[in-house]
Amino acid sequence: MKKTLRDNYRLNPTPEQEAKLVKFGATARGIWNLLLSENMRRYEHDKTFLFYKDMASLLKDIKTFEEFNWIKAFDSAAAQQVARDLELAFKNVFTKGRLQRFPKHKISYKKKKRHNDSFRAVNNSNCIRIENGAISIPKVGKIPIILHRKLASKIKTVTIQYHHGKWGCSITQEVECKTAKQVLKTITGFDINSKQTVVGSDGFVVDNPKFLKQSKTKLNQLQRQLARRTKGSNRWQKTKQRINKLHGKISRQRLDFAHKISRQITNENDILVFEDLNVKGMQKFNGSMVADNVMGLITQLSKYKTELEGKLYHEIGRFEKSTGVCSECGQHHVLTLNDRNFTCTACETYQSRDLSAAKSIAKTGELDLIAAGIVARVTPTSQQKSAIKTKVFKLSKFAVGTEKKEAA
């Protein structure tokens, strides 16, 4: 099985190349607005929309007109990618279960005072390649790149964007996943909460670093400085850029932390069980805390890493109770947010709230996987006569049900 991966790299373009990148980003924005306006006009006329093939042929036809010479100077494959993005935006609006609004026109960076335009180039006929520390982009040239990680396979697409005061590119590649492991020796449940980022059923605990709180003093100082500036002045723009760069640093710290934690738990376990958290709903009550704890990001990164390693990732139901469930007898308790430890009313076991929740998640996930016929419990030959047996699972081919199998 193949999976598409995305890696981000820093670019160091020359002033001439930077001017071209800004121009191409503005061209991609102009094509988006042009196609969106045409679709809105078409819908008012006959209640229909243009889709990718129609939009691609429209771009080809209007290039012959003199007033659309700015499209002719742009990479044709990159222009087609804008049409694909707009088609996807239309489909998401009218797809059930997607809470996405109708596409909007993109505003010029001159009005917003931010260079956040981007464009995506496609690697057709090996036109995009990295040689001698530079990446070649169609109609731009060879741009110096900081290649901190080697490419795993052939480049598919490259998205170039000016973000937080730096030019960067996002490279997508198709990577072959490892063969699925037939014998899975460890299953671990993970509870994600506000105090600790991750608590594992095996005792693994990672505290929340709270990167936003670490930079809060500097951020408040810059925001007060911005409030004293005259809006729109040069000093106001410089202070706003400093705030933007600081937010970029915080986001990169969060992403780096999430990658390291997800890599560690993926390497140490064969079966990972998480909760299906409603992150958007939690952000309505305390958005800064949820964002600073990278709750949803860790589960996303862990999922694709387990697939690459040929391991198993599972999420229990969103409404399955895990908090306040005794890890020894399964008795349910009602706890407040201040109750970090509790004593079971049935077996009188004193236990941690988060650790018992992680153990409950692991048990629920194990029962779900066995009931679905995805895995089956096996007894290794070395443990058949032993009183202490560790849990060992084997991938099952049964669609429904399970059988106990003897390990070879």
Reading the block at residue 30, the tokens are 């102009």
C-alpha 192/C-alpha 200 separation (Å) is 9
Residue 378 in contact with residue 405, Cβ under 8 Å?
A: yes
Q: Helix, strand or coil for residue 320?
A: coil
Phi, psi of 259 (to 5 degrees): -65, -45
Instruction: List, in sequence order, every residue forming a beta bridge with 130; answer none if it has no partner.
Output: 135
Residue 94's pLDDT is 81
CA-only gyration radius of the chain, Å: 26
Reading the block at residue 217, the tokens are 């003093």
Phi, psi of 274 (to 5 degrees): -125, 170
- The H or E element spanning position 45 is helix 15-46
Residue 400's pLDDT is 38
How would you write the pLDDT of the chain (408 residues) with one tens digit per residue? 788 888 999 999 999 999 999 999 999 999 999 999 999 998 888 888 888 999 999 999 998 888 888 998 899 999 999 999 999 998 888 876 666 788 888 886 555 555 578 899 999 888 999 988 999 999 999 999 999 888 888 899 999 998 888 899 999 998 888 888 888 888 899 988 877 888 888 888 988 888 988 999 999 999 999 999 998 899 998 999 899 899 989 989 999 999 999 999 999 988 899 988 877 777 777 767 777 778 888 898 999 899 888 888 998 888 888 888 888 888 888 888 788 888 888 888 888 888 888 888 888 888 888 888 888 777 665 555 555 555 777 776 543 344 334 333
Helices 295-308 & 279-292, crossing angle to 10 degrees? 100
* Sign of the alpha-carbon dihedral angle for 247, 253, 256, 260: negative
Q: Look at the chain and count its residues.
A: 408
Can you list the positions of beta strands (E) in 284-380? 312-316, 341-343, 350-352, 375-379
Phi, psi of 123 (to 5 degrees): -85, 80
168 Rama sector, left if φ>0, alpha if ψ -120 to 50, beta otherwise: beta
Phi, psi of 339 (to 5 degrees): -85, 95
The amino acid present at 293, given as its one-letter code, is N
Reading the block at residue 74, the tokens are 């742009």
Helices 234-268 & 295-308, crossing angle to 10 degrees? 50
C-alpha 329/C-alpha 327 separation (Å) is 6
